[in-house]
């Protein structure tokens, strides 16, 4: 993801309410999706006639939300919520006739913004960056990876538990009766950058990209990723924090629906396949003051400024706690293991993809200087994950946290003596939540996160994800223990 210039759209006026009304009328929009994101990170929506938007809903919002039915929002005793559209998020939905979408900010009925609205957390982080610390903006560029499958089945009950996924290009299908089977199945860990016919999803990804462009999302590149079985990556052009989180949600919405139209299914699950790479979300980030990239210093290591090194110090210092938001599923930790291009060691380096923080050195242009935090994956809620990473980096700057010397070698090949002092990521979601409980004061600065948001997050993850999985036998346990 090459950040070679400041985004041109930042200099343009963002759409106003009157602009949205004009778009609706001039484009013949008849239906508008009002969208928002629940606390775990799934997109929600309801649909209204465009006349409801034009006739006042754009200003007063829509009293349609039962907050007790949205994961993490409100208790049933006070569940009324109002969705107020943000005019700047207007976008046409290309595959639906005469339809558009608006992302809404969620308010409690008669009581101001909903603190638990993830978009509000992201907006508070940007306000803290500007108003309390005097920076202009932060730029974000996530590399979102996903799998495209042809079939998925799974189930769990009292007496069984299983899953099955399939892909036309999966290595395991070299002997399948396909009448004819034309071969060209990608071997495990050999899916990076092949041309068709090995890359069987070139045209499907291209349609996803063209759909994103129609929806107003700038795209830089798409390609097959390392794993067999349809792993893909589409990279968006970088943007500011909340706007990029908005785009991440639209990205998921688009690729899932384009795949569905072709009889395929997309998953952002971090580790759906055994014995091959999982899907990550390497996240590029930088800080700016007006038109100056504050991460650039031609005299620094990898042309990094001292401020950037302190930002890295914050990311590395708080990384165990960050994983509660950046790798927030039990499945995330099946990806974060040595040997599968997933960084587990808390070091930084230029070029080195085994480090948790990598400093790309593709270009000498000052505007392209940024760092890449590699542990996150796309199961995260981007509003919360980006905000948490920003707060960790800012805490590093405020406290002048020195990240120490870089490690410019493959951390998986270190000798035991060299490796014994390396800090590592948590090995499970429970460990990440425990780290968050011990280390969260940096998130509370400026009221960006609240104790209520953190408590809701930890409680939800333990009660709805960790405990249910802990109670269920794993299929492989039968292989290990059935004949004891």
Can you read off the two tokens belonging to residue 131?
A: 């108003």
Taking the C-alpha atoms of residue 82 and residue 104, their distance in angstroms, rounded to an integer, is 9
**What values do phi and psi take at 427, rounded to 5?**
-100, 0
The bridge status of strand 137-149 relative to strand 231-236 is: antiparallel
**pLDDT for res 3:** 41
CA pair distance 378, 286, nearest whole angstrom:
20
Give just the sign of the alpha carbon dihedral 21, 22, 28, 34.
Answer: negative
Using the Cα atoms of residue 473, residue 477, residue 478 and residue 482 in order, give the sign of their dihedral: negative
pLDDT per position in the chain (484 positions), as tens? 434 344 444 444 578 899 999 999 999 999 999 999 999 999 999 999 999 999 989 989 998 799 999 999 998 877 899 999 999 999 999 999 999 999 999 998 777 999 999 999 999 999 999 999 999 999 999 999 999 999 999 999 999 999 999 999 999 999 999 999 999 999 999 999 999 999 999 999 999 999 999 999 999 999 999 999 999 999 999 999 999 999 999 999 999 999 999 999 999 999 999 999 999 999 999 999 999 999 999 999 999 999 999 999 999 999 999 999 999 999 999 999 987 778 899 999 997 778 999 999 888 899 999 999 999 999 999 999 999 999 999 999 999 999 999 998 877 777 788 777 889 999 999 999 999 999 999 999 999 999 999 999 999 999 999 999 999 999 999 999 999 9
CB 268 within 8 A of CB 146: yes
Torsion (CA) 286, 292, 298, 301 in degrees, nearest 10: -20
Return the DSSP state at 314: H
Q: How many helices (H) and strands (E) does the chain have?
A: 15, 18
> What digits encode the pLDDT tens for the residues 358-394?
999 888 899 999 999 999 999 999 999 999 999 999 9
- Sequential DSSP letters for 202-214: HHHHHHHHHHHHH
Cβ count near 459 (within 10 Å): 12
CA–CA distances in Å: residue 43 to residues 68, 263, 270, 381? 16, 21, 18, 10
CB neighbours of residue 366 within 10 Å: 13
Cα 247 to the center of its chain, rounded Å: 10
Secondary structure in 3-state letters for 348-402: EEECCCCEEEEECCCCCCHHHCCEEECCCCCCCCHHHHHHHHHHHHHHHHHHCCC
Q: Which residues touch 450 (CB under 8 Å, ≥6 apart)?
A: 115, 444
Q: Give 315-328 pLDDT, tens digit per residue.
A: 999 999 999 999 99
The backbone torsions φ and ψ at residue 378, rounded to the nearest 5 degrees and listed phi first, read: -80, 0
Domains, the chain, ordered by start? 8-116 (3.10.20.70), 137-481 (3.30.590.10)
Name beta bridge partners: 221: 235
* CA–CA dist 372, 65 (Å, integer): 37
Are 376 and 327 spatial neighbours (Cβ–Cβ below 8 Å)?
yes
Residue 339 CA to residue 342 CA, distance in Å, equals 7
Return the structure tokens found at 424: 């590592």
End-to-end CA distance of the chain: 52
Catalytic residue IDs:
66, 143, 145, 225, 233, 282, 353, 372, 374
């Amino acid at each position: 993801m090459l950040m070679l210039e400041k985004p041109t759209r930042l200099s343009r006026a963002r759409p106003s309410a009157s602009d949205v009304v004009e778009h609706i009328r001039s484009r013949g929009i008849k239906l508008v999706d009002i969208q928002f994101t629940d606390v775990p990170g799934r997109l929600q929506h309801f649909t209204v006639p465009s006349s409801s938007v034009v006739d006042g809903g754009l200003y007063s919002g829509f009293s349609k939300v039962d907050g007790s039915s949205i994961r993490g929002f409100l208790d049933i005793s006070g569940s009324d919520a109002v969705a107020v559209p943000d005019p700047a998020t207007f976008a046409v939905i290309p595959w639906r006739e005469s339809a558009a979408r608006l992302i809404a900010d969620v308010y409690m009925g008669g009581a101001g913004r909903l603190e638990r609205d993830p978009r509000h957390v992201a907006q508070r982080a940007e306000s803290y960056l500007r108003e309390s610390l005097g920076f202009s903006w932060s730029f974000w560029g996530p590399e979102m990876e996903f799998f495209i499958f042809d079939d998925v089945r799974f189930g769990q009950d009292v007496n069984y538990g299983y899953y099955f996924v399939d892909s036309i290009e999966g290595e395991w299908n070299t002997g399948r009766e396909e009448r004819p089977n034309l071969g060209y199945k990608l071997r495990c860990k050999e899916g990076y950058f092949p041309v068709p016919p090995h890359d069987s999803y070139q045209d499907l990804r291209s349609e996803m990209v063209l759909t994103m462009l129609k929806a107003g999302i700038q795209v830089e590149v798409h390609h097959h990723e390392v794993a067999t079985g349809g792993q893909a990556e589409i990279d968006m052009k970088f943007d500011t924090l909340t706007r990029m989180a908005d785009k991440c949600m639209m990205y998921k919405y688009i690729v899932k629906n384009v795949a569905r139209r072709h009889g395929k299914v997309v998953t952002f699950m971090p580790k759906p396949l055994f014995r091959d790479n999982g899907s990550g979300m390497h996240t590029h980030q930088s800080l700016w003051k007006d038109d100056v990239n504050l991460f650039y210093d031609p005299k620094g290591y990898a042309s990094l400024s001292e401020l950037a090194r302190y930002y890295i110090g914050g990311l590395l210092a708080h990384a165990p706690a960050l994983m509660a938001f950046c790798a927030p599923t039990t499945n995330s930790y099946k990806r974060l293991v040595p040997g599968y291009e997933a960084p587990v060691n808390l070091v930084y380096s230029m070029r080195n993809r085994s480090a948790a923080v990598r400093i790309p050195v593709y270009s000498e242009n000052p505007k392209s200087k940024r760092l890449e935090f590699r542990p996150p994956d796309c199961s995260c809620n981007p509003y919360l994950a980006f905000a948490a990473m920003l707060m960790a980096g800012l805490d590093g700057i405020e406290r002048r946290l020195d990240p120490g010397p870089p490690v410019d070698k493959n951390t998986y090949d270190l000798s035991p003596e060299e490796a014994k002092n390396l800090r590592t990521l948590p090995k499970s979601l429970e460990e990440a939540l425990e780290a968050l409980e011990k280390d969260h004061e940096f998130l509370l600065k400026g009221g960006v996160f609240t104790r209520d948001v953190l408590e809701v997050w930890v409680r939800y993850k333990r009660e709805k994800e960790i405990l249910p999985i802990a109670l269920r036998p794993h299929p492989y346990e039968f292989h290990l223990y059935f004949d004891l």
